[in-house]
Structure 1
Amino acid sequence: MIAVAPAPVAMAADDPTIAVDLRGISVGAGLDQLARQADRALVGRASELRQARAGGVRGRMRLSRALALWCAPAHLSCRLVANGIVVRATSPRAAAVRPAIGPAAPAPHPADIIVTGRGTGTAGTALERSYSASHVDAAELARRDPGALADVLATLPGVWADRSAGTAANTIRVRGIPLDGYQAIAVQEDGLPVQHDSLPWTDVDQFVRPNLSLDGVDYVRGGPAAIFASNAPGGILNLRTRGAGDRAAAALRTSTDDRGRARIDAYAGGPVGGWRVLASGMAVRDPSVRRIAATLGGWQARVRADRELGGRGHWMLGVRWLDDDTLNISSFPMVARRDGRLAPLPGFDPRRDSWFGPALATVRFAALGARPLARNDRNRLAAATSILTLPLAAGTLTLRARHRRSVTERYALSSSGPPVTARAAATAALPRLAHAFAGTADAAARRSDGGSAVPPATWVETLNPVAADTRLRETIAEAVYDAPLVLAGRHDLTFGVYATRYHWTFRRAVARALVEARGRGGLLDIVALDRAGRQTGALTDQGFLSCGTTFEQVAADQRMGALYLADEWALAPRWRIDWGVRRERARLAGCSEQPLTADAGYAATLADDALVLPSGRREPHRLRRGGLATTAALHWQAEERVSLFARGTRAIRLPDPGAFRLAADAETRTLHVDQGELGMIAGAHGVALDATLFASRFRQIALEDLSIDPATGGLRIGRHDAAARTLGVELAGQLDLARDVTLRTTVTAQDPRLVDYRLSTVISGRSALLDLSGRRPRRVPRLMAQANVAVALPATPIHLDADVARTGRRFADDGNRLALPGVTLVDLGATWALGGGVTLRLRTTNLFDAIAVMQGDAIGGEIQAATSPIVVVRAQQGRLVEAGLTWRY
């Protein structure tokens, strides 16, 4: 063993920030330099420290990050301990000298290394990137403690993430791309998709629960994402799970909030025989920030085992289970003021209320029977993953596979346009009631739970209770081979084969109910009265206008395969060309059930006259589609700490079986997106900047439009063709203001526009063409900005942090009729290291209890929103105070 005593340097922090410049030296020389800079002793075997080291590490960064970047490619574990750095081999070949041109090391899992956007899977510094990327490390995840995938995405530049729906089924928009949900990005876990497609009522985020098992998040924006993943025109988000180390380790976190949530997260693991095994999980009891009819919650569990195979081989096996109920809300009424701002409707707090009251805790659907709507969104999943990395010739072969099964019972209460007064609702129903019930002279609104009269000025809302059952059985496999090649410079080649097959079943029933427009409002009836005030009939049945306005059932299979090839070509010391191509082919087959309409025969009400039910008649569907994605970039290391890149990409997205829901209007084209990027990455003297100019163009896209059939009350799904383009800039920066003060910022400014967007409408009884070209797509803001300040109080174990997020004005509809005001949200937090591995975390989100309106009415208001004094929108939750206690061993 050798020990090097470094010269004193004025850095006393456990993990100091240092200026790193390691190039053209051995592993040991680099570690010696880092140790001297950080005033640490270096302990390791001389044979391991003498090996050569290809490439370099440069920039200003934490010591732990520099060690991870420098040591991992050399198969060394470099750990920070009290006053020292301990180096040990992670494989028998670590002591061998690497050849100048040799196989890349398997991707390590230390924080702050982004490998998602590189086909070779090798680690690299930010200055080596020819694409835009962001990283969220384990420390940042612990600080934010995200409860949903949207919470993670909301911190990243270029992403507008609407967290107002709840834990799952949220909406995001990436770089202005007019694709809702998770259709524009591939969400992966350890390099494999969590779910290949984002399907109707089977969203990717329904099956992601961030907790202590999550070790880091990498996000590649645009660029090469379309080559290394399917359905990724906007990027790849890779969730990296925690693995066990070389010694026993454990952690336990308990947390709560001022609404009564109770949650426990834990993991424990270490060496077991020749394996490293980690078990982790969480359990939560969640009454919810919003006032709902039931307490939600559930659990998640994981087991992961890792084993080294020879010198460069590695095998990871993992299993995950999920079973929980989560909140998912829809839009609700607010008052549109003359100054353009939105105010709460009396009786409905948009930050804490919901429609989920006792009156709608259970709903009996004509097609599906009684369903517990109060359970809200129940997801059950079991998934198994295997990742095998093996040396092969001069390169590395990586085999990944995942099989999952999931069952979802998803319930929703969607509003149906703005509310009206009870008097207006009765008046509108009177002609129908008079035609159906002889002797009818008037109509009135009454409460369903007792028959008492409803004041005429009471606001009344029509809701659509929804029950959707989905099942997904999916297998995904991928083989990737990386190898170097010397030909007119160095090439790092990647060849990949990707395949998936899944079976998806979908059943959805929709009802229609009348409720008082207030938080957890009760059911109302509209009754017909004769001249003596006696009831002659009713429009509703116990508050329901219908127990079955819509029924859908689809069963579908998809088989999809892809081949891709990528190359990082270092044609000169400061110049590199990156290019890639991906070819995809998909075959879809399935059938959809044709519904029938029936009268249940109850003479006293109109609510059962047209119930939509299963018919047993099925229509088969078949579809074959393919597409080619390409990308090319030029990277220039302009200066020691500055690099520039230019990239052009054509991304694709193949249709999914959701197209079979309405075969006549199905969107079955392959979607093409042209993108361009100009980027700069720089870092020096405590300053880091990542800037990207981006542009995208959709030549043709079908924008979905949900509406209510005025005759039947059923849900209609329409699609309108348009083109779209976006111009914008993303900025991400970090500044060390002082020794213990760090400022991080992200800014996205963009100008998305709809092009060639024309649709037919009716004006004054005549058909007309409505041209919405030049309008901004619904929900997409022009400006998004975030800032985080972290301060370590001198001579104390306390860290303070503050987050400020600004979202600019958006529109609820493509017609840009209803503007949603911009909003600023402020979060504050404090962390106190109590000693003995115990940390106390306090955090307040939405400090000023702002009303952050995120989107408008999803039914009948996304093309042209209603602009009456009462509008339908959805806002984020109000202020929440959280506390958590974490113990680590």
Structure 2
Amino acid sequence: MGTPAEAARAIRFDIEPQSLAAALDQFAREAGVQILYPYAIATTHRVAGLHGTMQPRAALEQLLQGSGLAIASFDDRTIALRVAAPAPQRRRRVGRSEARPAPPPASSPAPEILVTGRAADAALSAAEESYAVTQISAATLADRAPMSTADLFKEIPGFWVESTGGEASNNVRSRGIPTDGYSSVALLEDGLPVQYDGGLAYLNTDQVLRLDATIDRVEAVRGGPSAIFAPNAPGGSINFLTRDALTDPGVTLTTQLTRNDYRRVDGFFGAGIAPHIGVSLGGFYRYDNGLRDPGYPADRGGQLRAAIDYDDGRNRLAFNVKRLDDRVILYLPVPLQFSADGKVEAIPGFDPLTDTLDGPDNVHVPFKTADGTRDFDLSRGTDSRVTFYTMMGRLALGDSAALEVKSRLRTGKTVRNGLFPIGRPAAGTDYIASVWPRLATAYPTAATAEIRYADSGKPFLPSSNGNGLVVGANLLSVQLPMDEFITDTRVTDSVDRWGRHDIAVGLTYDDTRLGYDRQMSTVLLDVSGRAQRLDVVALGAAGQPVGALTDNGFIRYGSLFDDVHIHSSNVAVYLADEWHVGSRWRIDLGARWERIAIRGAAEGSTAVDLGDTATLADDAVLTGDGVEEPIRRRYAGFNWTIGVNYHPAAGTGLFARFTRATRLPGATDFNAAPDRTDAADVPITMAEVGTTFERRHWSLSAVLFGTRFERLPFTDYRFDAVTNSYVERTSIANTSTIGLEFDGHADLFGPLQLDLKATLQNPRYRNFVYVDLADGQAVTHDATGNQLIRVPRLSLRATPSLHLLNDRLRIGADFVHYSHRFADVANSQRLPAYSLINLDMEAQLDRHIKLSVHATNITNVLGLTEGNPRVGSFDAGGSTGYFLARPEFGRTVRVILNVNF
């Protein structure tokens, strides 16, 4: 007797000649089902087409003739294909034309599908999910070749991404979450955190994560159950799933070229060496002069991963070693100006699209410290030399139960050297006037002062750099040795009682040991590309030097000092249940209890005078005082979530979810203030309601969400240009956001398709009060109702594309728009709305070779993603005159050649 799907009504199919992979994707849309198939086989076989009205199974069998594939399972929602001859394969999930899955073993009656944020690994279509998921396939990764990890996240609705920092150290925010970096979004690799706490000071997770040819695909969970299965993940979890030789053997080689001598090679080799055993080797190497050329190699280095996998269809054991040895530049705000009518403009002599203040003048510069001279090398940028050892296993415990263990050891060190501009650009004469009282007091015989170039001694004139402007900057060096061990043990099972329960019970443990050595000095620079250090010299009546504010361009040596060692341990226990109440209803339940214990010590600091009377730069050098203040903290929190899905018909789903989560303080929250009293758990409330439609020629996902943070400390870490030191203040407040995410696809007519992603949200501060001093008087400011900093209310990406020559040629464009944002809590500095146009072309030259061309920001739009927090994140001083902000990169064209065997 046939299944209901086999006896389904006949459907009209119109499938043109094309690759089998593309034909199967079209079949899935026209039949309204999800189809799983081995991409590597299907993409190399071509079909003659299929036209007519027939039963879906008969139509599919006709498509598969001569392809080497056969039907493994077939029902009214999900179809799985396998190779016609038995072969051990790992099973994966595929979405509409998105993924590159592998088939189940021929002996397996049904496919298993890996889905991030789930208790079970049974097949589940997008319409059956009780949360929002974005899948990014291997084909998309190869075609798009994102320039950074953060750049990839622009594919995810609900995420606001700042990828203008370069290949690392960027920011991502999800659904109005008010914290920066990756402190509320977890990055996972094969389901295990790359770094347990992504919000460690100066150590964002993306600093040690690189995309390369060893990544098979990416699954991103937005909100939903992320806070149950992953640490510090109320905003979502992004899972990078690696490629292995059993699932996808073969050879891949990709080369990229672009301006500024960008050269990159990615490679992967995987092969079976025995039944059920495969080995692979892959990685990348890259060298370039930067999207903003600093005059030295900006990014150089690479990554290598070696892996061995065993998988017999029931039990699995995998081990891989990944070594990252890479230096990347950190791009920071650049000088700009507001015109009289409030528009953002370039400053003469400085191109904000291509210039950077970084330059050779600050490579190998001597820092004077109380312990002697220390070399500062700006060209090191973010220098990560880290090794990851990962082992994963799955042991079947009968017909339905399994034990899964994943462990990862990380060892290594990251050094971050950066040039952080401070304050606002100022005319040289105005700067001299601002520091003259200090010079006149220190050097009574001084009659005047002038600015000179530190290296040559030549006077700095208004014509020297085309604008006559100077700006302060901090040369910051942070050394971060870190060892971390993470392990996650999970037992899964299925129980039939009042429906079917797919249950997971897990335990996660993390042990982190981190060093934190931070030293900084402050310099004066001219406003120019590849800025040069400047000296301010006090002159006597006869014009002779009598002293100086600076020394070799340094306004203050030792303007910041920290020496901290931290040990944190995290324990989490979680439970999840996917309860299939009936054929159309599912209830997802989850809970997580977590505890963090933080131990360590921070050395105090004191200011010393190094004794050079010819300069003021060494009068107050911060150094360690030899007294260590202990850090002893312990916090615990409880997260829970409930989601309901209603699946009335194939390709249609409705869901609702409510989550209560807690963000615990992190290990590095006490680096600069071991005795702080404002650190506490932050309650988070999230709710979402969504719908999913998958039809023959279109698909749509829409999610209405609400997010609320309570008792969240906001710190204004402002650099005072008068004292050349940081001034810190904290306000504890709430935030609330309501918004709508939209993700849609449509086959319009002929070869024209349209993809649309949009987020509309209203992120606001609540109960936010802070105090300023004005003329010695305390002035209270209420920021309640103001828009969250740096988050646009509207993010929109529309991508029309033409698919020609039987899908061998794709020509597309991205039209991107961001509404205005604000650089500060007071909403005094407005960052204008902007729109970008990007162009793409991908051509399948033959069955093995693909050529792609990507052009970004082709109109050279000056769009600002953030202001400069060092001038004040509470109040940045308004939208007039000169200021600092970080813009999008200028026009860039990349050529990518991908070869697969």
Q: Given the two structures, how large is their TM-score scaled by the length of structure 2?
A: 0.90
The equivalent residue for 1:381 is 386
Structure 1 CA distance, aligned partners of 2:353 and 2:599? Answer: 43
Contact kept? 1:462, 1:513, Cα under 8 Å: yes
Cα pair distance change 1:306/1:521, threshold 3 Å: same
The equivalent residue for 2:60 is 35
The equivalent residue for 1:412 is 418
Secondary structure (helix, strand or coil) at the match of 2:785 reads coil
Residue of 505, 526, 530 corresponding to 2:536: 526
Residue of 696, 701, 708 corresponding to 2:712: 701
| 1:632 Cα offset (Å) | 0.5
| 1:293 Cα offset (Å) | 3.2
Q: Structure 2 matches for 1:828-867, cutoff 5 A?
A: 828-835=839-846, 837-867=848-878
Contact kept? 1:705, 1:860, Cα under 8 Å: no
Secondary structure (helix, strand or coil) at the match of 2:270 reads strand
The equivalent residue for 1:722 is 733
The equivalent residue for 2:779 is 768
- Is 2:782 the partner of 1:755? no
Structure 1 CA distance, aligned partners of 2:871 and 2:102? Answer: 63
Structure 1 CA distance, aligned partners of 2:102 and 2:80? Answer: 16
The equivalent residue for 1:158 is 158
Tell me the alpha carbon deviations over residues 366-419 of structure 1, each in whole angstroms, 9 at most, x when there is no partner.
347102112211111100111101111331211111111131111111111111
Structure 1 CA distance, aligned partners of 2:253 and 2:336? Answer: 42
Cα pair distance change 1:615/1:33, threshold 3 Å: farther
The equivalent residue for 1:102 is none
Residue of 862, 887, 892 corresponding to 1:875: 887
- Is 2:302 the partner of 1:299? yes
- Is 2:653 the partner of 1:643? yes
Structure 1 counterpart of 2:213, one-letter code: L
Contact kept? 1:247, 1:271, Cα under 8 Å: no
- Is 2:496 the partner of 1:476? no
**Can you give the 5+ residue segments of structure 2 that lack an aligned partner in the other structure?**
1-10, 36-53, 95-100
Tell me the alpha carbon deviations over residues 795-848 of structure 1, each in whole angstroms, 9 at most, x when there is no partner.
684221211211111001111001111111111121222225122222211111
For this pair of structures, how many residues does the alignment match?
Answer: 849
Cα pair distance change 1:862/1:143, threshold 3 Å: same
| 1:710 Cα offset (Å) | 5.3
The equivalent residue for 1:501 is 511
The equivalent residue for 2:77 is 57
Structure 2 CA distance, aligned partners of 1:172 and 1:8? Answer: 42
Structure 1 CA distance, aligned partners of 2:82 and 2:587? Answer: 26
Structure 1 CA distance, aligned partners of 2:300 and 2:706? Answer: 42
Cα pair distance change 1:363/1:78, threshold 3 Å: closer
Contact kept? 1:798, 1:832, Cα under 8 Å: yes
Structure 2 CA distance, aligned partners of 1:78 and 1:208? Answer: 23
| 1:572 Cα offset (Å) | 2.6
**Can you give the 5+ residue segments of structure 1 that lack an aligned partner in the other structure?**
1-5, 59-64, 81-86, 99-104, 109-114
Residue of 796, 812, 820 corresponding to 2:831: 820
Contact kept? 2:658, 2:687, Cα under 8 Å: yes
Cα pair distance change 1:218/1:90, threshold 3 Å: closer
Q: Structure 1 stretch 265-274 or stretch 242-251: which is displaced more?
A: 242-251
Secondary structure (helix, strand or coil) at the match of 1:347 reads coil
Residue of 334, 339, 348 corresponding to 1:337: 339
Q: Structure 2 matches for 1:661-672, cutoff 5 A?
A: 661=671, 662-665=673-676, 667-672=678-683
| 1:490 Cα offset (Å) | 1.3
Contact kept? 2:16, 2:806, Cα under 8 Å: no
Structure 1 CA distance, aligned partners of 2:219 and 2:84? Answer: 19
Cα pair distance change 1:66/1:750, threshold 3 Å: farther
Q: Structure 2 matches for 1:575-614, cutoff 5 A?
A: 575-614=585-624
| 1:530 Cα offset (Å) | 1.6
Structure 2 CA distance, aligned partners of 1:453 and 1:444? Answer: 7
Q: Structure 2 matches for 1:80-91, cutoff 5 A?
A: 91=105
Structure 1 CA distance, aligned partners of 2:253 and 2:588? Answer: 43
Structure 1 counterpart of 2:684, one-letter code: V
Contact kept? 1:20, 1:34, Cα under 8 Å: no
Structure 1 CA distance, aligned partners of 2:635 and 2:83? Answer: 42
Structure 1 CA distance, aligned partners of 2:386 and 2:678? Answer: 29
Structure 2 CA distance, aligned partners of 1:565 and 1:441? Answer: 75
Structure 1 CA distance, aligned partners of 2:13 and 2:704? Answer: 43
The equivalent residue for 1:142 is 142
| 1:762 Cα offset (Å) | 1.4
- Is 2:572 the partner of 1:548? no
Tell me the alpha carbon deviations over residues 191-233 of structure 1, each in whole angstroms, 9 at most, x when there is no partner.
0001001210111000111122111111101111111111001
| 1:497 Cα offset (Å) | 0.8
Structure 2 CA distance, aligned partners of 1:763 and 1:529? Answer: 34
- Is 2:805 the partner of 1:794? yes
The equivalent residue for 1:127 is 127
- Is 2:462 the partner of 1:452? no
| 1:450 Cα offset (Å) | 2.1
Structure 1 CA distance, aligned partners of 2:84 and 2:774? Answer: 68
Q: Given the two structures, how large is their TM-score scaled by the length of structure 1?
A: 0.91
| 1:70 Cα offset (Å) | 14
Q: CA RMSD in A?
A: 2.8
Structure 1 CA distance, aligned partners of 2:220 and 2:69? Answer: 35
Contact kept? 1:459, 1:517, Cα under 8 Å: yes
Cα pair distance change 1:872/1:405, threshold 3 Å: same
The equivalent residue for 1:371 is 376
Structure 1 counterpart of 2:620, one-letter code: A
Contact kept? 1:753, 1:774, Cα under 8 Å: yes
The equivalent residue for 2:6 is none
| 1:272 Cα offset (Å) | 1.3
Structure 2 counterpart of 1:303, one-letter code: A
Structure 2 counterpart of 1:600, one-letter code: L
Structure 2 CA distance, aligned partners of 1:796 and 1:490? Answer: 42
The equivalent residue for 1:61 is none
Q: Structure 2 matches for 1:386-405, cutoff 5 A?
A: 386-393=391-398, 394-405=400-411
Q: Structure 1 stretch 385-394 or stretch 812-821: which is displaced more?
A: 385-394
| 1:534 Cα offset (Å) | 1.5
Structure 1 counterpart of 2:736, one-letter code: R
Structure 2 CA distance, aligned partners of 1:78 and 1:668? Answer: 42
The equivalent residue for 1:228 is 229
Residue of 328, 334, 349 corresponding to 1:326: 328
Structure 2 CA distance, aligned partners of 1:793 and 1:90? Answer: 32
Quote the sequence identity (%).
Answer: 30
Secondary structure (helix, strand or coil) at the match of 2:724 reads coil
Structure 2 CA distance, aligned partners of 1:227 and 1:73? Answer: 35
Structure 1 CA distance, aligned partners of 2:841 and 2:747? Answer: 19
| 1:665 Cα offset (Å) | 3.5
| 1:57 Cα offset (Å) | 2.5
Residue of 607, 623, 640 corresponding to 1:630: 640
- Is 2:687 the partner of 1:676? yes
Secondary structure (helix, strand or coil) at the match of 1:518 reads coil
| 1:640 Cα offset (Å) | 3.4
Q: Structure 1 stretch 223-232 or stretch 611-620: which is displaced more?
A: 611-620
Contact kept? 2:655, 2:689, Cα under 8 Å: yes
Structure 1 CA distance, aligned partners of 2:367 and 2:131? Answer: 50
The equivalent residue for 1:242 is 243
Structure 2 CA distance, aligned partners of 1:796 and 1:246? Answer: 25
Secondary structure (helix, strand or coil) at the match of 1:418 reads strand
| 1:71 Cα offset (Å) | 13
| 1:740 Cα offset (Å) | 3.3
Cα pair distance change 1:188/1:23, threshold 3 Å: closer
| 1:605 Cα offset (Å) | 0.5
Secondary structure (helix, strand or coil) at the match of 2:437 reads helix
Tell me the alpha carbon deviations over residues 712-766 of structure 1, each in whole angstroms, 9 at most, x when there is no partner.
4122443221110000000001111235332111110000000000011112321
Cα pair distance change 1:690/1:525, threshold 3 Å: same
The equivalent residue for 2:182 is 182
The equivalent residue for 2:4 is none
The equivalent residue for 1:84 is none
| 1:663 Cα offset (Å) | 2.4
Tell me the alpha carbon deviations over residues 539-563 of structure 1, each in whole angstroms, 9 at most, x when there is no partner.
0001110121110111101111111
